[in-house]
Structure 1
Amino acid sequence: MAEPNHHGGKRKPFGNRFLTDPARLFQHNAWDNVEWSEEQEAAAEAKVQENSIQFVAQDQQDAYEINANKYWNDFYKTHENGFFKDRHWLFTEFPELASNQYDSQVGMSVSEDALGNTKNSGLDSGLGSVETGVSQHLDSETNIFNTNHQLHTSDEMALGKPEEQKLRHSDFPGSSATYRILEVGCGAGNTVFPILQNNNDPGLFVYCCDFSTVAVDLVQAHPEYDTSRCFAFVHDLCEQQMPFPMPDESLDVVVLIFVLSAILPEKMQCIINRLSQLLKPGGIILLRDYGRYDLAQLRFKKGQCLADNFYVRGDGTRVYFFTQDELDLLLSTAGLKKVQNMVDRRLQVNRGKQITMYRIWIQCKYCKPPGQGELRSL
């Protein structure tokens, strides 16, 4: 039975390819918004219970936490920039990242050029190639966000606020930008470079950070890395005392794509709190991550479970599988307001081997309420 979507009103599909005739199952590589039967849901729950019977010993769990940096460095040393494909689907799922996405009369819209460039793009090869569609969940909360963001951007352009003038002339990378994006967990740059390629806003500046020094080196060595538009840096989100290169309340967008799930669950709230502090009032967090009962969770064997719904892979990296409620609690506790919280259920098909694969991801958009906090003087 499909999980109810009680965090964004009536659920709208992410894509537009629906399996209505089972005889057509292997005619395409993927199907969107696939409903689960009660039997399928029960089987998934039973599988998770089976692979969670035995937890990894605590001393081994401590070692995974202590050596997390090593495991991710080894991952990028092995795969470099060849593991994931560039995420050109970003602009259909997150039009906030595209240029000229705001219209003063109607709120959010997406430039045809940005959509046209991404219609035939797929998800990461590590997740399986998927033909991705668009979800435009524009409820009243979204429109409130857009209106306030529009006004805030206008203030920036006019340099109307003394606090904004202080921020603009402070000495930090991207201090003169009018639209700032931070991608957390940038890996080899499969998100940041599509943004830089597709968003031609002259006021754009993109920050990107990763736990792995190897990953950041790969980004900085990329031929399209441009320090006038981008700043890549190493950052450990779990180290509360490690400063960010930009001040609080300076960012318009924070992007978290399959990142939060790699972090120890008890540290997640602190991390979301810190990222919320970086947002301007009216700024937004865009998140996409693994959902409960995703194929990747069901594939784990006994002995790989660290805690409920938290596992270690064979390479030492870890992954958590979320519910909508868990993500809503994390983001709302940080003072953010829900714009979107949706389950994306996909049926991926290997037509050659006649294999079906059920993927479950959760996509969230949460904004910092306009007027929440004041821009700090520097």
Structure 2
Amino acid sequence: MNVIWRNSISCVRIRKVPHRYQSGHHPVAPLGTRILTDPAKVFEHNMWDHMQWSKEAAATARKKVEENSAERVLLEEQVDQKTEETMKEFSWDHVKANAANCFSRMHCLTMPEQKNHCRKSAGSADGQSKAGSDFSNLDAKEHRKGPVKTELFPGSSATFRILEVGCGVGNSVFPILNTLQNAPESFLYCCDFASEAVELVKLHLSYRAGQCCAFVHDICDDGSPYPFPDGILDVILLVFVLSSIHPDRMQGVLNRLSKLLKPGGMLLFRDYGRHDQTQLRFKRGHCLSENFYVRGDGTRVYFFTKGEVHNMFCKAGLDEKQNLVDHRLQVNRKRQVKMHRVWVQGKFQKPLHLTQKSSKLVFLPLSHG
């Protein structure tokens, strides 16, 4: 899934990277092109794209949701709203286990050409190319010229800035940094509520403080400041985060994130869709409200429709550029199990021009003249 967002960022970023540093590499099997045409071959791959449900399958999914949501969690048994939403998404042991597995897979196993990556110093970048080496040399030359000027805020000298909300232990952080390694004018911010997870991101060998700022942040707290001013971000990643927030607070979170984007900035969204396998697996007694559930560990999850996503982001002042329901068939080849996955994916842009008329903000289209 990280590949999806790396590709999206590359598309947004491509015009700002010097031509000589743009990669000509393209995946052999682009995401979205793996179509199951022969049911007998269903277990040949782990995931199939654009899977359309039959009327019977859709009806079965609706029935399961009706059954598992018929019994609601009593209000007096629900944890206090603020306490619940500011709890850790996972335990400290889970963070450590995920970190070890994630980092070993992502940076040692999936990059065979980088066998010695984990022995590199903290200042080195993943899969550093010749162009990356050129940038390192340039940086060294700059340091020899004299002391670096004090920044007003982390990344203040950058011309392209990204924020990942809910970064966890860095599953997406380091692939993004790897993508941006040949663009020194770019900067990545990443935040999570779990301080232990953020600390692990900072301790990783690929973390580069000169191009990344990881910080602890509660996106439900309107008064919690960001380490940078409003209106400076080019891209915000909001991936499987909004669903963990109570529906009553989602709009406020999106309104705040919208303020962080610069005109023309893009918010990339991906989250659980209605009738995803995760929703169908819930047992009775875990439903808090319509399409909103609590897991056994106390964390919450909401399942969206495309219409709900459209309404929320538009209310936040963003223009819809993409909003689709991603139906996939995920299979476990060892256990011969098939799982229907439903995700909502969208791209929402902050209008390029704003003007004020009659005390109301009016969005104007970009002039092509």
Pairwise same-fold verdict (TM > 0.5): yes
Q: Residues of 2 paired with 1:171 and 1:351: CA distance?
A: 52
User: Which position in structure 2 is the counterpart of 1:364?
Assistant: 346
After superposition, the Cα gap between the structure-2 partners of 1:44 and 1:340, relative to the gap in structure 1 and judged at 3 Å, is same
Across the two proteins, how many residue pairs are aligned to each other? 285
**TM superposition shift of 1:71:** 3.6
User: Which position in structure 2 is the counterpart of 1:37?
Assistant: 54
2:270 aligned with 1:318: no
Q: Which has the higher contact order (CA 8 A, sep 6+)?
A: 1
Q: Residues of 1 paired with 2:286 and 2:314: CA distance?
A: 31
Spell out the pairing of 1:1-378 with structure 2 (5 A cutoff): 15-63=32-80, 65-74=82-91, 76-77=94-95, 79-82=97-100, 171-199=152-180, 200-372=182-354
User: Which position in structure 2 is the counterpart of 1:94?
Assistant: none
Q: Residues of 2 paired with 1:82 and 1:46: CA distance?
A: 39
Give TM-score scaled by structure 2 length: 0.72
- Larger mean CA deviation between 263-272 and 193-202 belongs to 193-202
After superposition, the Cα gap between the structure-2 partners of 1:299 and 1:73, relative to the gap in structure 1 and judged at 3 Å, is closer
Amino acid aligned to 2:297 = D
Question: What's the CA shift string for 1:40-66, capped at 9, x where partnerless?
Answer: 001000100100011112233234741
Rg larger in structure: 2
After superposition, the Cα gap between the structure-2 partners of 1:179 and 1:87, relative to the gap in structure 1 and judged at 3 Å, is farther
Q: Residues of 1 paired with 2:65 and 2:329: CA distance?
A: 19
After superposition, the Cα gap between the structure-2 partners of 1:218 and 1:60, relative to the gap in structure 1 and judged at 3 Å, is farther
Question: What's the CA shift string for 1:302-349, capped at 9, x where partnerless?
Answer: 011111111111111111111101111110111100111111111112
Q: Residues of 1 paired with 2:80 and 2:87: CA distance?
A: 11
Question: What's the CA shift string for 1:246-302, capped at 9, x where partnerless?
Answer: 111111011001011111111000000000001000000001111100000000000
Question: What's the CA shift string for 1:172-191, capped at 9, x where partnerless?
Answer: 11100000000000000111
Contact 1:290/1:361 (<8 A) preserved: yes
Unpaired segments ≥5 residues, structure 1: 1-12, 89-112, 114-167
Contact 2:88/2:193 (<8 A) preserved: no
**TM superposition shift of 1:228:** 0.6
Amino acid aligned to 1:15 = G
After superposition, the Cα gap between the structure-2 partners of 1:238 and 1:81, relative to the gap in structure 1 and judged at 3 Å, is same
Q: Residues of 2 paired with 1:354 and 1:289: CA distance?
A: 26
**TM superposition shift of 1:18:** 1.1
Contact 2:95/2:169 (<8 A) preserved: no
After superposition, the Cα gap between the structure-2 partners of 1:225 and 1:248, relative to the gap in structure 1 and judged at 3 Å, is same
1:72 partner SS = coil
Unpaired segments ≥5 residues, structure 2: 1-29, 108-126, 128-148, 357-369
**TM superposition shift of 1:211:** 1.1
Q: Residues of 2 paired with 1:218 and 1:266: CA distance?
A: 31
Q: Residues of 2 paired with 1:17 and 1:247: CA distance?
A: 42
After superposition, the Cα gap between the structure-2 partners of 1:78 and 1:231, relative to the gap in structure 1 and judged at 3 Å, is closer
Q: Residues of 1 paired with 2:355 and 2:178: CA distance?
A: 33
- Larger mean CA deviation between 74-83 and 340-349 belongs to 74-83
Q: Residues of 2 paired with 1:27 and 1:36: CA distance?
A: 20
RMSD (Å), alpha carbons: 2.5
Amino acid aligned to 2:55 = E
Identity of aligned residues (%): 52
1:267 partner SS = helix
Contact 2:161/2:186 (<8 A) preserved: yes
**TM superposition shift of 1:221:** 1.3
Amino acid aligned to 1:35 = Q
Question: What's the CA shift string for 1:157-179, capped at 9, x where partnerless?
Answer: xxxxxxxxxxx997111100000
- Larger mean CA deviation between 59-68 and 180-189 belongs to 59-68
After superposition, the Cα gap between the structure-2 partners of 1:313 and 1:193, relative to the gap in structure 1 and judged at 3 Å, is same
